[in-house]
Amino acid sequence: MKFTFSSGQKPLDGYTIKRGIGKGGFGEVYFALSDGGKEVALKMLRGDHAEIELRGIRQCLNLKHPNLVSLYDVKVDDHGTPWVVMEYVAGDTLNAVLNRHPRGLPLELVQQWFPSLCRAVNYLHEHGIVHRDLKPANIFIEQGILKIGDYGLSKSISSSHRNAQTSSVGTVHYMAPEISSGNYNKSVDIYALGVLLYEMLTGSPPFDGESAQEVMMKHLMALPDLTRVPPAFQGVLAKTLAKDPKERHASAAELVTEVESLFADIGMGPQPVWNKSMPVLTAQPAGSGTKPSPAPAAAHVPFAQPVPRLRRPEGVASTIPVATQATPPVVGPMPLRLRLSEAATSLLLSAILAAMASVLLAALNLSDDLNALGTMFFLTLGVCWSVLLPAPFWTAKEGDDWGRRLILMTLGGMVGFLAFWLDGWAPQLHSQAASEARSTVGHWLNNPFAVAAGFIRYFGLGLGLPRWGRLAQRNRKAWFSFGPVVTTTIWAFALLIVWPWHDRPYGVAALILGSMIVQWVSPWTPPPPTPPRRLRLRQVPQTAKFIGRYAG
């Protein structure tokens, strides 16, 4: 990595460059010494957005918090280039620590670092500042103390929601969904805290992809896989990572209170601190008032101590599996806007599949009757849309209650009236050939009211009696199952007793195709994997041990 300045140069009066630390879109960062010998970090600002970052830094210049990288001053060199003088943090970034723990940090470290992170963010929010770029690369760990850096993207909460910053800020893996609309209040930091907690617990962020656009779409549309995190944290993460900002925690202080209560509930002791005499994590007694003492700079601080393996006591048999109840995944509610977007996609796909199925049936039947082809398409599409249109609003509870069945029965009656109209009973479609055909059938079928009632009864009962509501549920057991198709087929043939035209059973094909297409196009979330069976040790009676010793 090539830097503008090398060791020994003094581009800024009073400071000597020792080495380059990093480069980014906003400039370069150097480790330097002041003329008095103080170690500092110098950040040279340049580029089109230098003034934006400088404005954010000036807002944070007088903030003081133990978990924030201190900003000392802003200076300008002889060439008019602005420099930020800030605290030099010698430790690793949280990103480097996470790279050493691909399966997540030990809970002791999460317990120590995440509350500190939340308190620092809450301090920024209390002073009217949104960080907007919380990510592991901007979080530093020095002798066990967490510090948030990179204030360049910080922004006043009271400032306008849209300006030149909106197109180039943040890191996509930690961006809240509302950033796509230019909304930058403190809720975006709450969401980023949820992503960081998820990554601390699992070793990776909740959403990943081949491109930034793919990751951002997952933030907008997909739900995080909370089965990867410990069950105790699934509820708090579902709330923190909610798509709707109004459903998240109101503040970082509320979030840290809930997380600390979770650690207390799972039986973890007080927050660990650094013991000066032994560079390992130890627990601070409650109420002791003792402040953490930093470990020696040269000491190696292990992140987790090995747990000794316990020997099985004598007289204890092999472990016996004891089944435990599976913990269902906890997911946050999806906003109505996203549900409607999914529904629109499902409606379009159902139209395409209905057209393909109608053409395929016509080809198999070796028929070139366009009227029959159109009738099959519109009836199949009507059945599908009758189920897919109300499905986005059926999220309060599972199952097929009678209220939902009544709605489906009403929509089915409308499909029946469509079938009545497509059959040629409307004046503009009532051809002479159709009239001659009906005249030979009898008086009942020449009565339009009786025919309409037959169509309406068929589709009304065909959609109201089977459990259509379950076919479009997101949490159904499988993406596609033949069981509902078989059930619908049985009902479709049984209800032919009310179908007016037995020689043209379009309704049977429409119901059967609809039961398949609805499953194919409806969103589906796979069920969580079955958790491993918990093993428990049980004492073997002495008599059984004696028999086992001499058996065989």
Q: What stretch of H or E contains 512?
A: helix 506-521
In this structure, what DSSP letter does residue 471 have?
T
Length of the chain: 552
Helix axes 506-521, 336-364, angle to 10 degrees: 140
Q: How far is CA 140 from the centre of its chain?
A: 26
Q: Say whether 265 is catalytic.
A: no
Whether 203 contacts 104, CB under 8 Å: yes
Write phi, then psi, for 90 (nearest 5 degrees): -85, -10
Locate tokens 């489906």: which residue? 408
Q: Tell me which of 77, 133, 400, 401 is the catalytic residue.
A: 133
Tell me the C-alpha distance between 293 and 314, whole Å: 44
Tell me the C-alpha distance between 161 and 182, whole Å: 6
Whether 388 contacts 343, CB under 8 Å: yes
Tell me the C-alpha distance between 355 and 107, whole Å: 54
* Strand segments (E) across 77-205: 82-87, 92-93, 129-130, 139-142, 145-148, 155-156
Write phi, then psi, for 317 (nearest 5 degrees): -80, 180
Query: 3-state DSSP call for residue 436?
Result: helix
Selection from 326, 291, 253 nearest residue 527 by Cα: 326
Whether 84 contacts 51, CB under 8 Å: no
* Strand segments (E) across 115-266: 129-130, 139-142, 145-148, 155-156
Neighbours of 479 (CB within 10 A): 12
Whether 153 contacts 165, CB under 8 Å: yes
Write phi, then psi, for 372 (nearest 5 degrees): -65, -40
SS3 annotation, 418-461? HHHHHHHHCHHHCCHHHHHHHHCCCHHHHCHHHHHHHHHHHHHH
Tell me the C-alpha distance between 77 and 61, whole Å: 19
- Which amino acids are annotated catalytic? 133
